[in-house]
Amino acid sequence: MDNLADLIELLIEEQREEIIALSDQIWDIPETRFQEYQSSKILSDFLEQKGFIVERGVGGIETAFTATFGEEKPIIGLLGEFDALSGLSQREASDMREPLQEGANGHGCGHNLLGTAGIAGVLAIKELIQQKKVTGSIKYFGCPGEEGGSGKTFMVRDGIFKDIDVALTWHPNSYTGVFSFSSLANYQVYFSFEGKASHAANSPHLGRSALDAVELMNVGVNYLREHIISDAKIHYAVTNTGGSSPNVVQSDAEVLYLIRAPHLKDVEEIYQRVINIANGAALMTETKVSVRFDKACSNYIPNHTLNMIINEKLQHFGLPEYNGEELIYAHKMAKTITSEEVETAILDAEKLSSYQITDQFYREDSPFFEEIIPYVKNREVMQGSTDVGDVSWIVPTAQFFTTCFVAGTPLHTWQLVSQGKTSLAHKGLLYAGKVLAASAIELFEKPDLIDLAKQELVASTKSSYRNPLPDNLRPSIQ
């Protein structure tokens, strides 16, 4: 395998400028959930031009696509994302908050990198298949709407991943290591209240306030928090206050709830209690409430068999190295990261490694974390959610992080957007592409590992997967 890993490194380095340009192009046109029309076209057209068979609009999602090369078994899938976040517009390589356009979108989670690293990986694998150095097929999945849309959950429900044997993916971060956590399952649901408008001073008795209902619901749910399991979380945002005139009784108002817990059964139980509270708020205000399910995802199932392969490849290729100019910029960016943010990242790394990182992992005189997080099988739960979770319930799945940003850079921030088009991020992107490709090649060479990963998945899930989405629900654009 070492010879093939070296060849993978050579193949990806040969195409580095093309891959970097692709990533930067996606950074330049940040598009939010299920509206990634340009990004999806750029990536799918690129793969089609490279000889992949591309199918667009899969799973009933206009911006979802697959790109396949090969006709042999096994089939290994690499997952790619390319959606951005609203309100995070930011000038590249700046160490201060500088929106390119106030209120516009920005790649605050590094998905411009995430999607293109997978493309780097499948291009290298395609070359090795063509050279007959391995036998199998590679399939790239263009997965839209990860941010608040659970695009992969819709794709799983519609059978888009059913023909692959293994799924591999990654995520940009400020540290490097195997994603060995589970994650929180979730439901995202709108509650809309309908009341009756009236003059708030002259005839308040004739009005029925939908905004009062939203506020009462929120109060009720806040009291509920004391009586749910400690690992569960409930978030909400008022999406419609009913207007900006205080002298009008608001006839319409809406609130969006996101309910998270370690398992879907816990989410469902809390969801039913939240519905009861919404009905109570409607009863108290003599309004009507309607419930609109928006999206959901399952918890992630780590696969130890695959994780060990990923870890070995992370160690083989090693952490990126930086030149003097990059270090100068990195030190400037590091000054924008608070000590609390660094400490939070260190705590995450400690949990990933079951508290086996060393004192050398972080030194205050360095802008980067200095070591790969040791891989240890653990039972920790990430306090967030990912739609990779649903993929992991139906096919053995592994994911990892590589260092793309200075130590402690939080996701969903202007600092991450700023770094996402720099050589720091590009180095992490290429590193991830090499790890993805090398891991896939080892699985092609050792199909017994695929069988072992599948056996592990069955043991973990008992083949009990239930997609959390209603059958008739379609992805919605916010």
Contacts of 211 (CB under 8 A, 6+ apart): 193, 241, 242, 250, 253
Query: pLDDT-derived band of residue 334, with 50, 70 and 90 as boundaries?
Result: very high
How many whole angstroms separate alpha carbon 118 and alpha carbon 81? 9
Full-model pTM: 0.95
Quote the CA–CA distance of 426 and 432 in Å, as a whole number.
10
Q: Residue 235, Cα to own-chain centre: how many angstroms?
A: 18
pLDDT digit string (tens) for 431-441? 999 999 999 99
Written as one string, the DSSP assignment of 20-55 is HHHHHHHHHS---TT--HHHHHHHHHHHHHTT-EEE
In which domain, by residue range, is 224 found?
185-297
Residue-wise pLDDT tens digits, 48-74:
999 999 999 999 999 999 999 999 999
Structural domain contains residue 470: no
**pLDDT attached to residue 209:** 98
Question: The domain spanning residue 429 has which CATH number?
Answer: 3.40.630.10
Same domain, 276 and 360: no
| CA 158, 162, 164, 166 torsion-angle sign | positive
Domain CATH code at residue 276 = 3.30.70.360
CA atoms of 78 and 469, how far apart (whole Å): 23
For 219-230, the DSSP string reads: HHHHHHGGGS-T
Q: What is the pLDDT of residue 194?
A: 98
457, 396: one domain: yes
From residue 373, alpha-carbon distances to 43, 253, 290, 333 in Å are 31, 47, 47, 22
C-alpha angle 81-85-89 in degrees, rounded to nearest 5: 120
262 prior amide bond cis, ω within 30: no
Q: Do 151 and 107 have their domain in common?
A: yes
Q: Give the model's pLDDT for residue 386.
A: 95
Q: What is the pLDDT of residue 426?
A: 98
CA gap 177, 309 in Å, rounded:
12
Report the C-alpha gap between 39 and 51 in whole angstroms.
Answer: 19
Counting the structural domains of the chain, the total is 2
Q: Which of 441, 449, 431, 450 is nearest to 5 (CA)?
A: 441
User: Which pLDDT value is given to residue 416?
Assistant: 98
pLDDT surpassing 70 at residue 127 = yes
Task: For residue 343, give both structure tokens.
Answer: 């400490």
Q: Are 28 and 158 part of one and the same domain?
A: yes
Q: What is the pLDDT of residue 379?
A: 85
Q: Is 237 helix (H, G, I), strand (E, B) or coil?
A: strand
The dihedral through the CA atoms of 269, 274, 277, 278 has a sign that is negative
Task: Please indicate, yes or no, if residue 474 is contained in any of the structural domains.
Answer: no
Position 478 scores a pLDDT of: 63
Q: Can you give the pLDDT at residue 383?
A: 87
Higher pLDDT, 1 or 47: 47
For residues 449 and 312, membership in a common domain is answered with yes
Instruction: Mark whether 283 and 377 lie in a shared domain.
Output: no
Q: What is the CA radius of gyration of the chain?
A: 23
Q: DSSP 3-state assignment of 134?
A: coil
3-state SS class at 318: coil
d(C-alpha 135, C-alpha 164), whole Å: 14
Query: Among 364, 393, 385, which Cα is nearest to 466's?
Result: 393
Strand-strand pairing, 166-173 and 75-81? parallel
Domain membership of residue 102 (yes or no) is yes
136-169 in b/e form (b: 16+ CB < 10 A) is bbbbbbbbbbbbbbbbbbbbbbbebbeebbbbbb
Q: State the Cα–Cα distance between residues 280 and 434, nearest whole angstrom.
A: 55
Q: What angle do CA 300, 305, 307 make, to 5 degrees?
A: 60
In a domain, 412, yes or no: yes
Q: Are residues 33 and 140 in the same domain?
A: yes
Burial 252-261 (b: 16+ CB within 10 A, else e): bbbbbbbbbb
- pLDDT for residue 1: 59
Q: Of 247, 274, 297, which residue constitutes the final position of a domain?
A: 297
Q: How far apart are CA 219 and CA 205, in angstroms?
A: 23
Any idea what DSSP says for residue 349? H
Nearest to 259 by CA among 274, 276, 281, 278: 274
Kindly state whether residue 434 falls inside one of the protein's structural domains. yes
Across 180-202, average pLDDT: 96
Pick from 266, 297, 328: which residue ends a domain?
A: 297
What confidence tens digit (pLDDT) does each residue in 302-322 have? 999 999 999 999 999 999 999
The average pLDDT across 330-334 equals 98
The pLDDT tens digits of the residues spanning 132-142 come to 999 999 999 99
468 within a domain of the structure (yes/no): no
Residue 11 within any structural domain of the chain: yes
CA distance linking residue 336 with residue 9, whole number of Å: 33
pLDDT, average across residues 242-259: 97
Are 227 and 173 members of one domain? Answer: no
Instruction: Give the least confident one: 104-108, 297-301, 451-455, 470-474.
Output: 470-474
Nearest CA to 289 out of 186, 199, 187, 217 is that of 217
At residue 412, the pLDDT reads 97
Q: What is the mean pLDDT of residues 329-352?
A: 96
| pLDDT (mean) for 233-258 | 97
